[in-house]
Amino acid sequence: MPVNRVAWRNKGSLTEATLVWILGNVLLAVEDHWIVRFIASGRTITPSSNSVVPGDYDIYSKGTIRVSDEAWFSRLISHAVSGRDDAFRDGVRARDGKCVISGEVNDGAMWGVWAGFQAAHVFPLEHESLWIQFNYGRWITNMDGVVGSSKINSLQNGLLMSENLHTRFDQYLFSINPDDGHKVITFMPNHWGIDGRILDPICRNPNNPDRVSDEVLRWHFRQCVLANMRGEGEPVFETDFPAGTDMMATLRDEPYGKERFEMELASRLRFMAREGEGRAH
């Protein structure tokens, strides 16, 4: 009987039902019936609302068990910089008004002060070519009349977050599961105070055509699973580059450095092109 093993180290809000779904729909390709057992107790895990206990789990099946080779996409920190991104940033600010993850309200909004808050793209701008290739624009429903746009800058692809959480969101260290009551799930032990919180309703009001798309949230959650729960997990990348730091040297030495270098270059070229458009106008 083939056996595979997974580990869950974070004592948090992931339920056994979600763990079973993750194994069956994201991480594993299994040809026959399978079960998962918690090694410490020998208990078979069922799709229940019980929290997953930290530890090691074995998966048993009469058929073969293969770990998914689905692609995982590294990313930069997708800060909006200028030009057309301003509409995305301003729209997300107007819709949310607070960090929709922690609930922190921006008291400076009435004076136009947004220090410490950032509009985050759920699906990153750096992978717009993939967004177009896989027609993910079909997830966006508030831009049906717009021609010549990939729709990636739709407000439905955005969330307002505090700056420190935006960085962690972009590094796939936490996500939102829209199929578990929009619960926030962290993928590493932490003291951020967000694990188990519910995504603020202000950004997902069903009566608001600009509400965040559940489909883009599902995409991000799936990426977090692939980045953190397959094998030893994917690397967490350096994001702090003080003045004088050789950023490109750091990228050269990192895993996936080539991909990050290409995304960084594309991001800078996009910024320069938009700056040029602004001067031309």
44 located within any domain: yes
Please check whether residues 92 and 213 belong to one and the same domain.
yes
CA distance linking residue 117 with residue 99, whole number of Å = 7
Please check whether residues 91 and 193 belong to one and the same domain.
yes
266 located within any domain: yes
The confidence score (pLDDT) of residue 78 equals 45
Chain segment 54-106, per-residue pLDDT in tens? 889 999 998 888 888 888 787 755 444 333 468 999 999 999 999 999 999 99
What range defines the domain where residue 269 resides?
A: 247-280
Please check whether residues 93 and 145 belong to one and the same domain.
yes
Average pLDDT over residues 190-195: 91
- The residue type found at 99 is C
Q: For 147-171, b where at least 16 C-beta lie within 10 A, e where not — what string?
A: eeebbbbbbbbbbbbbeebbbbbbb
Please check whether residues 104 and 177 belong to one and the same domain.
yes
Average pLDDT over residues 175-184: 96
Number of domains in the chain: 3
Q: How far, CA to CA in Å, does 210 sit from each of 61, 93, 206?
A: 44, 12, 9
Please check whether residues 161 and 63 belong to one and the same domain.
no
Please check whether residues 163 and 201 belong to one and the same domain.
yes
Please check whether residues 96 and 179 belong to one and the same domain.
yes
